[in-house]
Structure 1
Amino acid sequence: MASTEELPQWKTDLINLALQSNILTFGSFTLKSGRISPYFVNCGLFSRARLIRAISSAYAHTLDTHAKDTTGWGFDVLFGPAYKGIPLCATTCDKLASLDEGRWGEVGYSFNRKEVKDHGEGGLMVGEGLKGKRVVIIDDVITAGTAIKEAVSIIEQQGGTLVGIVVAVDRQEKMPAPKGESEEGKRGSAIGEVRRSLGVPVLAALTLGDLIKGMRDLGRGEEVSKMEEYYARYKPTE
């Protein structure tokens, strides 16, 4: 499950900081799906200066690495769906310019209002226009539900082209079973389903595999065993 290769330093730093700040915690957590998870990542706690700097730097590294590894792939605007995506898209733009201003210095950010403004500059959108632009959605988590569909719809209505999505954590587990069905059925992950349905890369700053590798490097064998057991039970079939 976890790679034997060394994690990039920025991933190691992010995992350590998440542990120190109780963003990454271990125990017994009931998820929305009803599953009992041995770990939980509370992305809402990336709310202080050094923490938002760490997560936005991780997004920037994730995007920069994918662009370097994928010929012809790039983007013009980061779109942050209201509300959680708003600070993420703005701070990630800043970190991208810090990584490589020559390449990323002109990347813009944009976000939507929850309600259309009918005074002042008016409209639904704030920030960079999307018309004719290659757009990456940036958010904390992803599901295959209505939130991502709404973001994609906004981008299309504004004349942009979706070219990718980036989130904080990929739990690498299969989607919950429909009501009345067994969890033992074959299903893909939420990220995998979105990737297939939209036909664009869906990236994550950290995966469950990264967390397992990071915790193993820290000598946290008990946590590693529980995460590996959880993955074995809910491994996606994709």
Structure 2
Amino acid sequence: MVVESAQGSGAAAGQDTLAQEFVRFSVDSGVLRFGEFKTKAGRLSPYFFNAGLFDDGAKLGKLAEFYAKRLLASGIEFDMIFGPAYKGIPLAAAVAIELARLGRNVPFAYNRKEAKDHGEGGTLVGALLQGRVLIVDDVMSAGTAARESIAIIRAAGATPHAVALALDRQEKATENGQDVNHSAVQYVRQQLGLQVCAIAKLADLLQYLKARGDGALAADHARVLAYRERYGVDEG
């Protein structure tokens, strides 16, 4: 299968066309909002990404298309998909459907928060966890959900191999209430040994705001840039 590069032929130098389309889609859908929002780390963030607002068939289908295109372009190899409860469940199902539509049919599974004590029982639903497993989630704040998914996958005898995200916030994680000099994504890559693939990053959001830098969006760009300068990680 031939997969188009995320870089369009007419894209500006350094611009990730797929990421820019995704940011615009997220803003237009009301999923990516600007203002003042408190994060899990207790920071006041000038933007908020709530994947739960991809809440109808058209938006979820478009989101799955972005995931599938990014995954196929990444070259990451995997044998199946795992969606951690709860947001990861519809994401895993939708991405599996879109990948199949594009000619890459893979099984998927997800977990329950509470074990079922009747019927088939257990906490896992769907295909048997085996081979190289791709975890699909929305964002990653501290890597806690990724560690939980990794434990589930390993307990089933499979190999946690990679993580696909909608947005990489590219900001410092916290440990015991203190900022550390790496992001959750960097931790998962460097300490847990998994590949990580994100549809877009905070840098892409800043590029989007800068390109549309007039009125309210110019003010949003300034606030997001200041947040990035304070809490951003060095990816060099």
TM-score (norm 2): 0.85
Question: What is the match of residue 15 of structure 2?
Answer: 6
1:48-197 equivalence runs, <5 A: 48-67=56-75, 73-99=76-102, 101=103, 104-105=104-105, 107-131=106-130, 133-176=131-174, 178-179=176-177, 187-197=181-191
Deviation at 1:178, TM superposition (A): 4.1
Question: What is the match of residue 236 of structure 1?
Answer: 233
In the alignment, residue 119 of structure 2 is paired with which amino acid? Answer: G
Q: In structure 2, do the counterparts of structure 1 residues 118 and 128 end up closer, same or farther at CA, with 3 Å as the change threshold?
A: same
CA RMSD of aligned residues (A): 2.0
Q: In structure 2, do the counterparts of structure 1 residues 236 and 65 end up closer, same or farther at CA, with 3 Å as the change threshold?
A: same
Q: Distance in 2 between matches of 1:98 and 1:7?
A: 24
Deviation at 1:163, TM superposition (A): 1.0
Question: What is the match of residue 53 of structure 2?
Answer: 45
For residue 33 of structure 2, the aligned residue among 20, 25, 30 is 25
CA offsets, 1:127-163, max 9 Å, x none?
11113x1101111122335422221111011111111
CA offsets, 1:59-109, max 9 Å, x none?
111211111xxxxx411111001111111001001111233x0xx12x111
Segments ≥4 residues shifted beyond 4 Å: none
Q: In structure 2, do the counterparts of structure 1 residues 121 and 25 end up closer, same or farther at CA, with 3 Å as the change threshold?
A: same
Percent identity between the aligned chains?
39
Deviation at 1:46, TM superposition (A): 1.1
- Contact 1:56–1:92 (CA<8 Å) still a contact in 2? yes
Question: What is the match of residue 4 of structure 2?
Answer: none
Query: Which has the larger strand fraction?
Result: 2
Corresponding residue SS for 2:85: coil
TM-score (norm 1): 0.84
- Contact 2:139–2:169 (CA<8 Å) still a contact in 1? no
Corresponding residue SS for 2:230: helix
Question: What is the match of residue 201 of structure 1?
Answer: 195
Q: Distance in 2 between matches of 1:4 and 1:200?
A: 29
Equivalent pairs, count:
221
Q: Distance in 2 between matches of 1:136 and 1:213?
A: 28
- Contact 1:14–1:54 (CA<8 Å) still a contact in 2? no
- Contact 2:81–2:136 (CA<8 Å) still a contact in 1? yes
- Contact 1:29–1:36 (CA<8 Å) still a contact in 2? yes
In the alignment, residue 227 of structure 1 is paired with which amino acid? Answer: V
Q: Distance in 1 between matches of 2:227 and 2:193?
A: 28
- Contact 1:175–1:236 (CA<8 Å) still a contact in 2? no
Unpaired runs of 5+ in structure 1?
68-72
Q: In structure 2, do the counterparts of structure 1 residues 33 and 115 end up closer, same or farther at CA, with 3 Å as the change threshold?
A: closer
CA offsets, 1:161-180, max 9 Å, x none?
1110111111111123644x
